[in-house]
Amino acid sequence: NIEYDPRWPGVMEIKFGDEWRAKFIAGDDLPAGVPVAYGYALVLMDEKGYVTRKKGDEGPWLTVEGPANPGEKAEALAKRIAKEQTGATAGTVFVTGYLECKATSHNPEFEAGAVTVRPFMVVVAKKISDVPAESGFERRRLPLNEYSTRLRRQYAAFDQHILAAIDRYVVMSRTGAG
């Protein structure tokens, strides 16, 4: 008997180098028991979005993102990287979806087929301070329309998910829910 694990029919597969293949799953909850390997956080406050990059880098401004510490939960990861990269103190944090990532045979850290997640989160900041000097990052604040355009261009594979996350933030901020 051969066990068959179908690849996701009709779903765009995203490849991260030769080491991972992934699919995006929209939703508020992460699968239980699956480790968080990396995360993306849209840091927003007062109708502005924050982009970041390494100090001295002339490359594009990106969303807040980074690897998780071993055993770190998604919300803790979002709060930590938001603080490190933008100086944001998180208020509300919520997941808008995640990449379900499967390791390939070229992955040096995980066995082929091992599953991890890369959550997409929104961090609604309650306070923005200076970026910690030791973080090695710099930030830029943009109006939501520019923020959305920049991130959707930079992360073209996730443009609809970024737009949905920003829309959810706008609704929350206008209704007083976040």
Residue 176: the pLDDT is 80
Residue 86 near residue 64 (C-beta atoms within 8 A): yes
Q: Side-chain half-sphere of 161: how many Cα atoms within 13 Å?
A: 23
Residue 178: the pLDDT is 62
Which residues face 116 on adjacent strands? 101
| Per-residue model confidence as pLDDT tens for the chain (178 residues) | 555 455 556 667 888 889 999 999 899 999 999 999 999 999 999 999 999 999 999 999 999 999 999 999 999 999 999 999 999 999 999 999 999 999 999 999 999 999 999 999 999 999 999 999 899 999 999 999 999 999 999 998 888 889 999 999 999 988 887 6
Angle between helices 144-154 and 159-175 (to 10 degrees): 160
Q: Tokens 């510490």 label which residue?
A: 69
Instruction: Retrieve residue 15's tokens.
Output: 């490849």
Contacts of 76 (CB under 8 A, 6+ apart): none
Residue 8: the pLDDT is 54
Contacts of 102 (CB under 8 A, 6+ apart): 20, 21, 22, 113, 114, 115
The answer to whether the pTM exceeds 0.85 is: yes
